[in-house]
A = this chain, B = another copy of it.
Amino acid sequence: MTTSPTPPGGSFEGRLHLFPVRVYYEDTDLSGIAYHAGYLRWFERGRSDMLRLLGVDQRAAIEDGEGHYAVADLAIRYLRPARLDDVLIVETCALEIRAASIRLRQTAMRDGEPIASADVRVGFLGPDGRPKRQPESWRKAFQILIAPDKDCA
């Protein structure tokens, strides 16, 4: 019998979601640094983990024919290279919650310095691929993400 090690996952600190990733071989390219498209995978893991912690079961929503999230647009700036074995913290903060979409700011930090930062708009879509209101219970859960008095850092 083996006891399970802690599954990977993030946590909230106030309205900020923190999600750690490590840079592995698969993430690098021959220039020696992390390949640019990999950041989108890391940011998606961060978003999925944030949703999971808020009680959103994306897999059930797809299997039940409710719908799924899809990135609508995304703007990313690469500020510093990341290298093999680096530990990055993906910080996720909500910019806007709407009926059928969320806008988030996500920043990969290393030792307190930003490595890459993106503004991402994610829409909820029905099985037909058309925009759809997010389930009421989800939108309620998202209220924790909004702080009226301060912006994303």
**A interface residues (Cβ-Cβ under 8 A, vs B):** 2-11, 13, 16, 18-22, 24-26, 28-33, 35-38, 40-41, 44-45, 48, 52, 57-59, 62, 68, 70-78, 81, 83-85, 87, 89, 91, 129
Contact = CB atoms under 8 A, between A and B. Distances in A.
B45 A2 contact: no
Given A30-B30, A36-B71, A72-B78, A2 B24 contact: no
A36 B70 contact: yes
A87 B26 CA distance: 20
Contact of A89 (B5, B19, B41, B52): B5
Contacts of A36: 40, 44, 70-71, 74
B78 A2 contact: no
Contacts of A77: 72-73
Contacts of A25: 29-31, 35, 44, 48, 58
Given A30-B29, A35-B26, A68-B31, A85 B73 contact: no
A126 B84 CA distance: 18
Contacts of A40: 36-37, 40
